[in-house]
Amino acid sequence: MFGNIALLLPDTVIHHVCTGVNAMLVTLSSSPHLIQYEDVEVGLLLLYSLLPNMVASTPGSGEVYGSDPPSHPVFVTVSQLIMSPVHKMGHKAVSLMYFDCISRYHKILEMNKDLIPYLFEAFFSDFGIGNSNAQVQSQACYRFSRVCAHLRRPLTNYCDEIIDSLLPLMAPDLPTLSSSPNQQKAKLGQSDKCWLYEGAAVLVYALKTNDETLRMLNKLCQPLLSVCSEIMQGQLYNNESEKAPVYSQILLDTVETLTRVAKSATKNSGSGAFWVAAYELFQPEGAY
């Protein structure tokens, strides 16, 4: 029903949705105790639902946000949303909808690069990738990979910073015989780590030169390779080790992760010399 009305009266619907969401964001910033999470969830859902109808109402024009995007109501509202404390509300439904909205309106981030620091704050906080709720955490990881795919060019300027933020979350830890199950528990699930590695790899492959790409590829993958070397050289995966199943799983997870990194490479990721150098990176002298 909402979609049909939005198609028939796009300007009217956009006006009312954006006016309502903007008012909610202002109240949330000034008097958060007056806002219920249900109100925020509904507002985000309506905002999320606008884009397909905006595209449908401007077929072939390429001007979804009009001739002056920064003044378009949706552009303004989404920008305010990204800068708002919505992601800090801590409610699962709101958090899920928030990251969905950011991903859907990636074009606005591309046109307004001043929003990128707010993007990092949301994703890399305890309300995003570090969220204690597994569903929100997984959604944040997946949406991060999608945002990286859409914004690979502008985000390459932050490649070092992004990888520095992600590595502590993604690197596997080798368990010791004295480790308790809680100490061994990974901060992120394997599928979540794969999404993060894949997103980061997209940025690495989008760098301008082969040298830059290799340096960042090494930075991204070396922790994984080091763990594998330690396991293989110490034969920690053999049946005589009490932790053999754990070490074996780490090896399997690492292979899967590196496969996802390779998957992110595109046909234009570099010359033959680049791929020879990349192969040497993954085959260090004396390894395995």
Residue-wise pLDDT tens digits, 109-156:
999 999 999 999 999 999 999 999 999 999 999 999 999 999 998 999
Q: Is 139 helix (H, G, I), strand (E, B) or coil?
A: helix
Supply 149's token pair.
């795919």
> Mean pLDDT highest for which of 47-51, 60-64, 132-136, 268-272?
132-136
Determine the longest span between alpha carbons in the chain, in angstroms.
70
pLDDT tens, position by position, 70-121: 999 999 999 999 999 999 998 999 999 999 999 999 999 999 999 999 999 9
CA atoms of 65 and 69, how far apart (whole Å)? 5
Give the whole-number percent of the chain exceeding pLDDT 90.
46
For 11-28, what is the mean pLDDT? 91
CA atoms of 109 and 131, how far apart (whole Å)? 23
- pLDDT over 50 at 283, yes or no: yes
Question: 173: pLDDT confidence band, cut at 50, 70 and 90?
Answer: low
More confident residue, 34 or 262: 34
> Cα-flanking dihedrals φ and ψ of residue 215, to 5°?
-60, -45
> Cα-flanking dihedrals φ and ψ of residue 71, to 5°?
-95, -5
Q: Hey, where are the domains in the chain?
A: 1-57+68-150, 162-288
pLDDT tens, position by position, 197-242: 999 999 998 888 888 888 998 899 888 888 888 777 776 666 666 7
CA atoms of 154 and 106, how far apart (whole Å)? 12
CA atoms of 78 and 114, how far apart (whole Å)? 13
